[in-house]
Structures are given as C-alpha cells and as structure tokens.
C-alpha cells in the first residue's frame, strides 16, 4: 500500500460517523377529513358564507413573498383515497411561524367541518455526504483532531459556503404542479441490517448512487427532502411534485432497486393529492 493510500485509510478510520447537513424551511403537513354530512346540513347561503371567509385567508397563505429570501407559503391539496380529504402543506421560516399558520387555519369557521387525520412536522434538509467525506479526509489527513477547535471551524466554514450556495434549495417555493406525493421514511437500524453502523464512506457511496437515480427524473418531478428526527415519528419526509402522477410510481419503483433503498429503507403511508388553488375552494366544496 502506498503512503498516500495508507494515510487515506487512516484518515477514514478517524472520521466521525455523522455527516454534515444544512437546514432551511420549517414544514408542516396537515391531513384532514371533511365532515360532509354536517356540511350538507347547512343551508347553501351558510356554506357560501363560510367559504367566502376562508378563500382570502387561504389565498394570502398560498402566495409566495418575492421580497423574502425564505419560504412563506402554503398549498391546499385534495387527497385521493381513504386517508383524508384535504392536505395543507405549510412552508415557513420557523416552527413559531408554523404554529401561527396552524392557528390561523383553526380560527376559520371552515375548520368546524375539518377533523385532523394525520400531520407531519419536519424541516428542509440537504445532506452533504460528498462534501463531508472530502473535508473529513482532508482534516484527518492533516492530523487535525476530530471536534477540535480547528476541526469545528473548518466544518462551519464549509456549512456557511453551502448555505449560501444552496439558499434556493433550502427555502424553496412550493412547486406549482398538479399533483403531490408525500411519504415519511426511515433507515433500518435493527435486525441484521443497520444503516447507522455503516462507515460514513460506505453511506456516502450508496447515497451518491441513490441520488443519480433521482437526477434522471429532474425534468419531470421536483423532490423536497425534509428531516424529522426529533420532530416526528419517522426520520425523513419526502415530497414529490409533478404534473403527472405516473412519474411518482416510476421514480419510487426505480429507486427501490438501488442498494440504500433495497437494503436499508422503510416507508410509511403515502399521501397523493391534487392541487386546489384557493379560488377553486367553492368548486371543491360544491358551492
């Protein structure tokens, strides 16, 4: 083994296990059932009054503020299947702002006819496996002790550069597509397979291969990954946005064959919905 390869192997053996990440928008998904029987019991005039009050609130929430660098936006979807009737997706700059959005919806008289069936709290995350491995190798190869002051400083410098370069991905607008597909997921950490015991270099390799599959669908589907470790029951949430739902099946099916999904991925419930602009709410509720 050459001296260079030897130093690289030693450096890899000294790498911390946790990859660097950068975070952006706070995200809340609200899945709701609509109380159709109670709604139908109202007079047409009362139903129209309730919807008239809700439309401007939803319209204001769905508008992206072009003057802000972060994402302040909500979107309403009509869900397909038995898991709910409506799904609200909120992108905000903080959990406090998400709470305000949640309360604003609850204050609408329309909320008297909504029952929460599920929800999901998370935060936009970009994992930096490639950059992390390169930096950790460089630091360890120079004999810099993990978590020392210089190690932390160079990690922070990398994170600052990446935050600036990736700002539009950290605070994205909600894509204006016809369909959304949302699902939570975990990495296996039990039985005979445990993602978290793999060396960081091996995880980096598998994630790179996984990402290459997604890139082939870049023109057809927009993917936003959110982290939920410590926030909700699963580890990540995935939102896919597209104008044609078939692409969800094709993308997710193809990804099942790469190693990181085939061996280490666990998936929660899938929610698929059609975008409902605020002005279309009367049509949706049959006013």
Look at phi and psi of residue 184 and say left if phi exceeds 0, alpha if psi is from -120 to 50, else beta: beta
Tracing tokens 């995200």 back to the chain, one arrives at 27
Look at phi and psi of residue 89 and say left if phi exceeds 0, alpha if psi is from -120 to 50, else beta: beta
What amino acid positions are annotated as catalytic residues? 183
3-state SS, residue 241:
strand
User: Is 120:49 a contact under the CB 8 Å cutoff?
Assistant: no
Tracing tokens 């991905």 back to the chain, one arrives at 169
The Cα 129–Cα 134 span in angstroms is 9
Distance from the first to the final alpha carbon of the chain: 76
3-state SS of the chain: helix, strand, coil percent to 5? 45, 25, 30
Nearest in space to 203 (alpha carbons), one of 129, 127, 126: 129
């Amino acid at each position: 083994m050459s001296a260079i390869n030897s130093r690289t192997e030693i450096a890899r053996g000294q790498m911390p296990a946790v990859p660097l990440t950068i975070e952006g928008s706070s995200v809340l998904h609200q899945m709701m059932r609509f109380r159709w029987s109670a709604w139908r019991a109202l007079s047409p005039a009362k139903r129209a009054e309730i919807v008239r009050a809700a439309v401007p609130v939803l319209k204001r929430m769905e508008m992206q503020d072009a003057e802000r660098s972060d994402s302040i936006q909500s979107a309403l979807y009509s869900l397909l299947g038995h898991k709910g009737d409506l799904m609200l997706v909120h992108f905000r700059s903080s959990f406090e702002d998400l709470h305000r959005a949640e309360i604003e919806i609850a204050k609408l008289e329309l909320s008297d006819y909504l029952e929460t069936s599920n929800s999901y709290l998370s935060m936009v995350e970009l994992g930096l496996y490639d950059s992390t491995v390169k930096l950790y190798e460089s630091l360890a190869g120079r004999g810099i002790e993990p978590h020392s002051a210089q190690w932390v400083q160079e990690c922070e410098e990398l994170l600052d550069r990446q935050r600036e370069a990736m700002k539009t991905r950290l605070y994205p607008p909600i894509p204006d597509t016809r369909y959304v597909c949302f699902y939570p997921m975990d990495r296996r950490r039990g039985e005979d397979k445990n993602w978290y015991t793999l060396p960081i270099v091996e995880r980096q390799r598998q994630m790179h291969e996984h990402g290459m599959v997604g890139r082939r669908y870049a023109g057809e589907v927009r993917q936003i990954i959110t982290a939920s470790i410590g926030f909700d029951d699963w580890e990540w949430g995935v939102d896919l946005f597209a104008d044609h739902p078939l692409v969800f099946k094709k993308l997710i099916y193809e990804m099942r064959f790469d190693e990181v999904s085939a061996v280490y991925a666990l998936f929660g419930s899938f929610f698929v919905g059609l975008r409902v602009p605020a002005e279309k709410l009367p049509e949706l509720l049959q006013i």
